[in-house]
Amino acid sequence: MRSPDPHCRPLLRSLTLFTPLLLTSALWAAPGCEEPVQDGSEAPPTSEEVRKEQATALEDTLKAHLNDRVDAVAVKTPGKEKTEHTWQDDIDDVMGIVNKGVAAIFFYPLFEKSHEETIEEADLATDAALFTRIDGFLKDAEAEGVPLGNASLVLDLPKIGSEDEPKLTIKRSGVPLAVLWLVLGAIFFTFRMGLVQVRAFKHAIRVTRGDYSDPSDEGEVSHFQALTAALSATVGLGNIAGVAIAISLGGPGATVWMIFAGFLGMASKFTECTLGQMYRQVRPDGSVMGGAMYYLSNGLKEMGLGGLGKVLAVLFAVLCVGGSFAGGNSFQVNQSMAALAETVPFIADHGWVYGLIMTVLVGVVIMGGLQRIAQVAERIVPAMCGIYVLAALWIIVSNASIVPDAFGKIWAGAFTPMAGFGGLVGVLIQGFKRAAFSNEAGVGSAAIAHSAARTPYAVREGIVALLEPFIDTIIVCTMTALVIVISGAYDPAVNDGVFAPYLADGNGAGLTSKAFGQHISWFPYVLSIAVVLFAFSTMISWSYYGERCFVWLFGDKSSTCYKVMFLAFVFLGSVITAKEVLDFGDLMILGMAFPNVLGLVLLSGKVKSAFNDYWAKLRSGEIKPLN
């Protein structure tokens, strides 16, 4: 269909806006028409629908006019007012206040730049008036230091008839403090440990394979089981949904920085999991208690910082419990249910059934403790990662002719984005942010699982742990990124706009599913199952993390109480729609990085000394393979 002549757009926009209102007024003013006549004719559009149509037209016009001068353009309309206030709304209101407080501390956006102005409705009447106003606004924004190439432009339209004025906002998103904290920590550990992720990589594979394993060593699980248990908590929806969103926002170049961040994160994992082993406590019954709360409290106490250590340990444990209930539980159920509903419509209207099934399955596993969690994880994680990576490799091989072009886009986008330096910063932020959310290196959660591994050397388990970011970010996330780039799923104009709805809604799981489905028609069904398994494995591992922290805070007898509460949140995840409750989990989990990384930096000398001693013994032949 041919687009309307540009000169006709103002007339069409005015007709779209005012005709339904005039018709509605005429109907109400006519004698005997005080109420709409139920004659089967189509009801005139409401003012909300008219505003939405106007917003769509304005957004298309602005995108055509700006032509990549800004990173993104959106025109927003007021949400529909709720006639009833539910209990979920009350919870959402309270959690919104809590989230804002937490985010103000842990997620303060460093280097954020923004500029806003109000405009008049008359500025929206014609293209000429709109363009003049927009160009002047952008000039003012640049004068205030907002880099347009890495900024998003938003036009907020008030309700029709409201006294409020339309508002223009342009913002360059900043770097969340928590993400910067994790990245700076990873850089420090990489150099402090002498590039351990490179030097010990081959040895890590041999240890995980069991070449150095002795079943008589103290601990509850093998190296491989500890690795898969920790991986099951990180390999999940972030690898499927988050990567797609990162590339849609930062472009293909975000992939390079995501990989680089994963590489740096390997050193963070090594450091925290080595300390987890060094300060673990083995109970008379053979069970192991370990994790950040132990090395923060006991390790810093040895350095004469007992007070600081206790505060950091308590803060870590509280945040971990909160994160286990939301981000590691309800969020996983909610998002996996939404993904499954795409291929199983029954779930969309009967979410409680899905919640009940997941509650039972999770309960059966977590009531058996870490050993049962590890047994399940060592089967699920390799299987789901294998299926996902093989499908991605099939798509890559099948499109071998365009793979060089895909790598070219990734490399070019990482270092020479069209938007210049501002765009480069934006791409870098998206890559690092996704890696931080995905592999949780520096968060401290994985140290809880790795502390239970059977080994006589704490450093050995730290070396095994450095494989986590490699598998999670460098392999799995990169496979997703390559499929997205090859399919062109980050571009709303590709394939007649087939990806546009998913990009507009920020539906990362749907976007990835559609990208895979373009090459393997039946894969969306497999992906739905994979998403459920990813979510399930994440939940059982986070239940262990939360339970260990809860027991550390309240004593051994509180374990069962925690598990019952955890299962209640599993079911709630299938019926709750409060967005703020679901977002609370991410805030808690990344918030754990603040006490953890601070403690790791202070204790890094102990890890460095232990690693040098172990490496010298390995090089001299004193430590030899047993199998």
How does pLDDT run across 221-250, given as a tens digit for each residue?
788 888 887 777 777 666 777 777 778 777
**DSSP character at residue 495:** G
Same domain, 199 and 160: no
Of residues 99 and 340, more confidently modeled = 340
Whether residue 146 contacts residue 82, with contact meaning beta carbons closer than 8 Å, is answered with: no
Q: For residue 376, which phi and psi values (nearest 5 degrees)?
A: -70, -45
Contacts of 557 (CB under 8 A, 6+ apart): none
Output b/e per residue, 448-464; b: 16+ Cβ within 10 A.
bbbbbbbbebbbbbbbb
- Which of 265, 571, 554 lies closest to 433 in space, CA to CA? 265
The region that residue 621 occupies, defined by phi over 0 for left and psi between -120 and 50 for alpha, beta otherwise, is left
- What's 328's DSSP letter? I
The pLDDT tens digits of the residues spanning 113-124 come to 889 999 888 888
Q: How many domains does the chain have?
A: 2
Determine contact, residues 547/559, Cβ cutoff 8 Å: yes
Q: Does residue 536 sit in the same domain as residue 470?
A: yes
Tokens 């968060």 found at: 443
Averaged over 66-91, what is the pLDDT? 70
User: Helix (H, G, I), strand (E, B), or coil: what is residue 177?
Assistant: helix
Integer CA distances (angstroms), 616 to 416, 570, 619, in order: 43, 47, 5
pLDDT above 90 coverage of the chain, percent: 23
pLDDT of residue 10: 44
Residue 604 and residue 494 in one domain: yes
pTM for this structure? 0.80
Closest CA to 257 of 139, 124, 423, 430: 430
pLDDT of residue 81: 55
What pLDDT is recorded for position 192?
95
SS (H, E, C) 391-436: HHHHHHHHCHHHHHHHHHHHHHHHHCCCCCHHHHHHHHHHHHHHHH
Q: CA 153 → CA 14, 114, 127, 149, 543, distances in Å?
A: 23, 10, 17, 11, 41
Contact predicate 358/572, CB 8 Å? no
**Per the domain annotation, does 28 fall within a domain?**
no
pLDDT average, residue stretch 79-106: 66
- Does 31 reside within a domain? no
Residues 127 and 194 in one domain: no
> Quick check: is 403 in a domain?
yes
SS3 track for 107-126: CCEECCEEEEEECCHHHHCC
- Characterize the bridge pairing of strands 167-172 and 152-156: antiparallel
Count Cα neighbours of 16 within 13 Å in the Cβ-side half-sphere.
Answer: 19
Task: Give yes or no: residues 253 and 169 share one domain.
Answer: no
Strands (E), 67-223: 72-76, 109-110, 113-118, 152-156, 167-172, 175-176
In this prediction, residues 447-468 reach a mean pLDDT of 90
Structure tokens at 416: 């020479």
Q: Looking at the chain, how many residues does it have?
A: 627
Residues 158, 279 share a domain: no
What is residue 563's predicted lDDT score, i.e. its pLDDT? Answer: 93
pLDDT at 547 over 90: yes
| Dihedrals phi, psi of 71, to nearest 5 degrees | -70, -35
Q: Which of 418, 271, 415, 362 is nearest to 546 (CA)?
A: 362
Tell whether 351 is covered by a domain.
yes
Of 272, 306, 314, 280, the closest CA to residue 469 belongs to 272
Asked, for residue 274, whether it belongs to a domain, the answer is: yes
Which residues of 544-618 form beta strands (DSSP E)? none
> Per the domain annotation, does 13 fall within a domain?
no
Residue 220 and residue 168 share a domain: no
Model confidence at 303: pLDDT above 70 = yes
Residues 271, 232: Cα–Cα separation, whole Å: 20
Are 599 and 567 in a shared domain?
A: yes
- Can you tell me the distance from the alpha carbon of 468 to that of 162, in angstroms, rounded to the nearest whole number? 54
Specify the CATH number for the domain of residue 192: 1.20.1740
| Confidence tier at 17 by pLDDT (50, 70, 90) | very low
More confident residue, 79 or 385: 385
325-334, 443-452, 456-465, 609-618: range with lowest mean pLDDT:
325-334
271 pLDDT above the threshold of 80: yes
Give the mean pLDDT of the chain: 80
| Domain termination residue (choose one: 126, 156, 173) | 173
Amino acid at position 457, single letter: Y
**Nearest-5° angle of CA 409, CA 415, CA 421?**
125
- 282 pLDDT above the threshold of 90: no
Whether residue 333 is found in the same domain as residue 276: yes
Structural domain ending residue among the three candidates 173, 201, 228? 173
Stretch 62-68: mean pLDDT: 82
Cβ neighbours of residue 550 closer than 8 Å, sequence gap 6 or more: 317, 321, 558, 559, 561, 562
DSSP, residue by residue, 248-297: HHH-TTHHHHHHHHHHHHHHHHHHHHHHHHHT-EE-TTS-EE-SHHHIII
Cα(290)–Cα(273) distance, rounded to whole angstroms? 10
**Would you state the pLDDT for residue 12?**
40
Contact in structure between 271 and 604 (CB atoms under 8 Å): yes
Question: Looking at the domain assignment, is residue 263 inside a domain?
Answer: yes
* CA distances to 345, 453, 466, 510, 530 from 539, in Å: 24, 20, 22, 21, 14
Give the integer Cα–Cα distance in Å for 553 and 171: 42
pLDDT tens-digit map of 154-211: 998 888 878 888 899 988 777 778 878 888 999 999 999 999 999 999 999 998 888 8
Higher pLDDT, 179 or 322: 322
Indicate if 361 and 433 belong to the same structural domain.
Answer: yes
The predicted-structure confidence for 339-388, as pLDDT tens digits, reads as follows 788 778 888 788 889 989 999 989 988 887 666 777 777 777 777 778 88
> Does pLDDT of 407 surpass 90?
no
Of 144, 173, 202, the residue at which a domain comes to its end is 173
According to the model, what pLDDT value does residue 419 have?
Answer: 42
Q: How far is CA 441 from CA 42, 206, 550, in A?
A: 57, 22, 22
| DSSP track, 229-254 | HHHHHHSSHIIIIIHHHHHHHH-TTH
pLDDT tens sequence across 462-520: 999 999 989 888 888 888 888 999 988 887 777 777 787 777 666 677 788 888 888 88
| Residue range 604-625, pLDDT digits in tens | 999 999 999 999 999 998 988 8
Question: Quick one: pLDDT band at residue 149, thresholds 50, 70, 90?
Answer: low
Query: What is the span of the domain harbouring residue 348?
Result: 176-620
Residue 6: how many CA atoms within 13 Å on its side-chain side?
8
Selected residue with higher pLDDT from 53 and 321: 321
Q: Do 276 and 160 have their domain in common?
A: no
267 and 408 together in one domain: yes
Q: Tell whether 24 is covered by a domain.
A: no
Residue 232 CB contacts under 8 Å (≥ 6 apart), including other chains = 377, 380, 381, 537, 538, 540, 541
